[in-house]
Chain A
């Protein structure tokens, strides 16, 4: 699904912040991406999303060399990936419903065609009563769930979640993890960037990608 071969990244003329990344994200796989703060977890997620281009090496997205893809092709591949940001990245002037429906709206779908899907998903993540409100009045946990719902609404083949439990209490964190595990069971590959060891211990079967010293260590 996603393959990195000898990938390195540097900003400007500085040192490489990520070097010699070699790994593969297989279909229907589940992995935690971990490492100390500042190790480059978010940067690696951006490389997977191809919103950052590597300074060397090759990234293959869904079997295609990302370097050879034009903008439209990257956009269409990106639609197969759902992303949950650490800071939620909800649009402040849109309601919870509109934020969750956004990925479908940008694909040019009529609102009436996805209304039921969005309402159902919002109900499932426990935001059924909060769909008319703006993000400003949502709690951190509610924003996180809205962000997750927005990532899931496109039924992604790959879900990237950056510290999805960073702003929620342990109970909700466990519930969100169960949600990601459900997704994994239904066939979605999941990459969760986190430094929450307790969270990772709840899913022993997951692969661990550990970033340290700008390199990636894989523990299957």
Chain B
């Protein structure tokens, strides 16, 4: 040691340096320079956990709706409906059969299922009730046409042929429904995105305030670090590490709770599927069970929140130190 010369060093230095090796192993504690445990730290972990839970919930529900919407669109786009309205002087049964024959002849069609008179009347039951004689009413007949996804259908040609040969016929390819479903899904995802951004912004503000609070509480530590030659990047790095750890803990708790929520809810709704309420939920959200990519998204959100927490605190500390200078 250069700074120490003369007898004093000889008298005391030798004994202690002999101890340096065994002591060394116990000396290393990797203690963070910003004290880890504090009430403010625990509060921030709670805030981050709640925010992560809300963000993951928003993302999970948006994914569920997007998936369900995709399924609906998939189902609907593989079907068409031919509607044959009764016209005076024409036999509705014959017209329906004629339309079905024309549809079967077209290429790109997998199956044609004309609804019988009874089946068509049954479709009106939810609105008109049962037990009514609908014989005198001009109830249109429906033909469900299933499309072959492997081959293409000339929709225009089929429509022209049907309209030319069957009076009172109309072909519904469900485009209007698909457009509505798509816009609803987009709106839901957009709302989810807005909520997600709001939650993230609120969390970043909470982290910023917590960082300023931590800096005020550790002002003396910052001053000492400056005096012993610490650069601003070193000090902000210490705070970043501290807040990254807090963010990681909060993110893990919030993300874990969100995963548990979707896992349990998916199973509970699976048990309720037979009930009317369960059917409604299934109609809207499908099986309400996240796929692997949904769970992966939650994990990514939790990790991203930890990174954001550390990054925000670093920026705040850097700006604060620059102001101090």
Contact = CB atoms under 8 A, between A and B. Distances in A.
Given A106-B225, A155-B2, A124 B12 contact: yes
Contacts of A49: 227
A119 B232 contact: no
B221 interface: yes
Interface in B3-57: 3-6, 8-9, 12-13, 15-17, 19-20, 23-24, 26-31, 33, 35
Nearest to B325: A71
- Interface size class of chain B, counting residues whose CB lies under 8 Å from the partner chain: 35 or more
B224 A91 contact: yes
A106 B235 CA distance: 8
B272 to A, nearest CB: 53
A119 B28 contact: no
B16 A124 contact: yes
Interface residues of A, number: 49
B117 to A, nearest CB: 85
A192 B226 CA distance: 21
Contacts of A85: 227
A176 to B, nearest CB: 11
A49 B229 CA distance: 10
Nearest to B36: A93
Contacts of A91: 33, 221, 224
B284 interface: no
A115 to B, nearest CB: 5
Interface in B175-233: 220-221, 223-232
Interface string A135-151: 00000000000000010
A150 B225 CA distance: 12
Contacts of A72: 231
Contact of A103 (B17, B27, B35, B228): B228
B132 interface: no
Given A91-B33, A93-B35, A116-B17, A83 B227 contact: yes
B3 A126 contact: no
Interface of A: 49, 51, 71-72, 75-76, 78-79, 83, 85, 89, 91, 93-95, 97-98, 102-103, 106-108, 111-112, 115-117, 119-124, 126, 128, 131-132, 150, 152, 154-156, 178-179, 182-183, 185-186, 188
23 contacts: A49-B227, A76-B229, A78-B227, A85-B227, A91-B224, A98-B29, A106-B230, A106-B231, A107-B229, A116-B17, A116-B24, A119-B17, A119-B20, A119-B24, A121-B1, A121-B3, A121-B4, A123-B17, A124-B12, A128-B12, A152-B4, A155-B2, A186-B3
